[in-house]
Amino acid sequence: MVDTLFEDRRDAGRRLSRALRHLAGEPGLLVLALPRGGVPVAWEVARALNAELDLLLVRKLGTPGQPELAMGAIASGGIEVLNPAIIKGLGIPEHQIQEVARAEYRELQRRERAYRGDRPPPRVEGRTVVVVDDGLATGATMRAAVQALRAQHPARLVVAVPVAPPDTVRSLQSEVDEVVALLTPPNFAAVGQWYLDFGQTTDEEVRALLQQAWNGPPPETSSTPRETPG
């Protein structure tokens, strides 16, 4: 169990990979990162487990006026997951939900083109899939990811994150085969509070890490692009 702050996302990924050692060597192991912040974490996990690395594009639906508060999320494939409690509690009308969803879908498409280009998505059916992010808060984004993946029939589905509140972990445990979270602090307020460096991960950094994973063995950590605060 981790009892100190993570230096940055790469450090979190190295620590997380040690908690996933039981999956190393599993045939067809697939690590899927939730961009952008999940990519540096997942890159370290995939490297340590000798697994294929790819992306699962998901966008949080922020509430009007409070974009950091998720009222739901969308994922590639037309998947939409809403948080009825937040929507009802804040009295958010349907037209505002759809307005936010349309804007986020445009961004999802932009990122799909920017990160993947013409590369086809990975095969999920029959494989063990590990979905990685840099942390969870409400879990809405991860639930959209899980729902999108379940429709593709993986053999086993694992959620792995450096940090998440206990109630989010419990809620996800009934939806996947395994949840691995290094930190589950009862005093959780935000993912970034558990990192010394939580600067924004850029599109350029995402593309650089993916190209390293897709085009050959990654270089030593010292020669990889240093993540800027994200």
Q: Does domain 9-57+124-223 have CATH number 3.40.50.2020?
A: yes
Beta bridge partners of residue 30, listed in sequence order? 52, 129
Q: Are strands 156-163 and 128-132 parallel, antiparallel or unpaired?
A: parallel
Domain boundaries, the chain: 9-57+124-223
First to last CA, the chain: 24
Contacts of 132 (CB under 8 A, 6+ apart): 13, 16, 31, 32, 33, 34, 38, 41, 42, 45, 160, 161
Query: For the whole model, what pTM was predicted?
Result: 0.82
Across residues 134-151, what is the average pLDDT?
90
Reported as a single tens digit per residue, the pLDDT across 62-107 is 999 888 788 988 887 777 888 899 999 999 999 999 999 999 999 9
Q: Are 83 and 72 in contact (CB under 8 A)?
A: yes
How far apart CA 48 and CA 4 sit, in angstroms, is 21
Q: For residue 128, which of 74, 178, 75, 76 has the smallest C-alpha distance?
A: 178
Q: What is residue 18's DSSP assignment?
A: H
Q: Are 24 and 49 in contact (CB under 8 A)?
A: yes
Does residue 187 sit in helix, strand or coil? coil
Beta bridge partners of residue 109, listed in sequence order? none
Reported as a single tens digit per residue, the pLDDT across 163-195 is 999 999 999 999 999 999 999 999 999 999 999
Edge-to-edge strand ranges of the sheet holding 79-82: 58-63, 66-75, 79-82
- The fraction of the chain above a pLDDT of 90, given in percent, is 69
